[in-house]
Amino acid sequence: MYPSEDLDLPVLKAISNVALWDFVCRATRTVGLVLLYYVFSIGITFYNKWLMKGFHYPIFMTLVHLVVIFCLSALTRRILQLWTGKPRVVLKWAVYFRKVAPTAMATALDIGLSNWSFLFITISLYTMTKSSAVLFILFFSLIFKLEEPNPFLILVVLLISSGLFMFTFHSTQFNMEGFIMVLLAAFIGGIRWTLTQLLMQKAELGLQNPIDTMYHLQPLMFLGLFPLFLYNEAVNLSMSEKLFRVTELRPLLYSLFTLTIGGLLAFGLGFSEFLLVSKTSSLTLSISGIFKEVCTLLLAASLMGDELSLLNWLGFAVCLCGISLHVGLKTYYSKNKLPSLQQHNRSSELGLPLLRQDSDQWEDSTADEDEDKEQEMMLN
């Protein structure tokens, strides 16, 4: 006995409404997560630049940020442990110093030099130069065999390199010292994200969750930057009225408050990246990152008075074409490798955002009950 067409029509409408509602919910969630990522990413860039105008101690600022991130990571880990009933990973000291230290040192230098450069360069030059990190990530990915060589990579390198040259050529607000700092930070960033991927893909370490990774990285990052702070800023800061020679309590509280806000933004950036990748894919983060850089330059030109010529904008467009090509290639090759990757190790792929990998397979491999509880609680 077959159902009549009159009965099929309401059922089809109901199914259609459910599918439409599911699409709207997914789209709304994705847009919300992207906007959250934009707020923290663009916010910390402009905030650090604003803070550096009156507080000329970028290494000390970075150290404060690391302390705030460590405290918030520890608190988050504790909440996750209570929520899931599953103990969080704690590495042994020997493994900690041998496996985590290289990644921590590279991360500390990348962030420290990036913040330091704000004393000398504009947000526009910083944004454009830091985009070249994709080149160094490609370079070190090839060295560590995380990336397979193909002829299109040459085109990606040429586009990004020529775009960077065009952006800096005859720039009216160019500063060589700041430019070298950011370029060096981008180079170290290539090492940083390659080592981070290797670190998080080692299943025996148990650092697949970025919150656990952030928790373990911060102490070594602090120790790595502290000697540089002692050498470059400690004497001047000890004689400054910003912190140690204050005559009133209010300026001291204001300085500590502004530094803590930066730490909250830094933690929020890593947290929002994790949510966006875990709930969508790293491809979404990669594409939204391209538009984020455009928004950053537009805001820098309108709010900060950064001067950009037609050649600068053309160079930025060429660089974005190279980054977009790289994102497309990563998506294509990731989909082709998906079956073999899943057979090799379904639990090892995280899809780090700056390495431009598709993390759909990672979502499939982490669909156990504990991970679902963690992600659900973080999103809520």
C-alpha distance from residue 132 to each of 147, 163, 358 (Å): 17, 9, 21
In the 8-state DSSP scheme, what is residue 99?
A: I
The mean pLDDT of the chain is 76
- Model confidence band, residue 74 (pLDDT cutoffs 50, 70, 90): very high
Work out the pLDDT band at 149, boundaries 50, 70, 90.
Answer: confident
Largest CA distance in the chain: 91
The contacts of residue 28 (CB under 8 Å, 6+ apart) are none
Vertex 269, ends 148 and 189: CA angle to 5°?
A: 40
| Lowest mean pLDDT across 23-32, 136-145, 357-366 | 357-366
Residues 145 and 194 sit within 8 Å (Cβ to Cβ): no
State yes or no: pLDDT of 46 exceeds 70. yes
Q: What is the DSSP string of 219-282?
A: HHHHHHHHHHHHHHTHHHHHT-TTTTT-SSHHHHHHHHHHHHHHHHHHHHHHHHHHHHHHHT-H
Q: Which residues lie closer than 8 Å to 68 by C-beta, 6 or more apart?
A: 260, 263, 264, 266, 267
Q: Output 226-229 pairs: Cβ under 8 A, ≥24 positions apart.
A: 226/63, 228/59, 228/112, 229/59, 229/60, 229/63
Domain ranges of the chain: 30-338
pTM for this one? 0.71
Query: Please, what is the Cα angle at 341 between 335 and 343, to 5 degrees?
Result: 125
Q: Please state, in angstroms and as integers, the Cα–Cα distance from residue 337 to each residue in 340, 348, 366, following that order.
A: 6, 14, 18
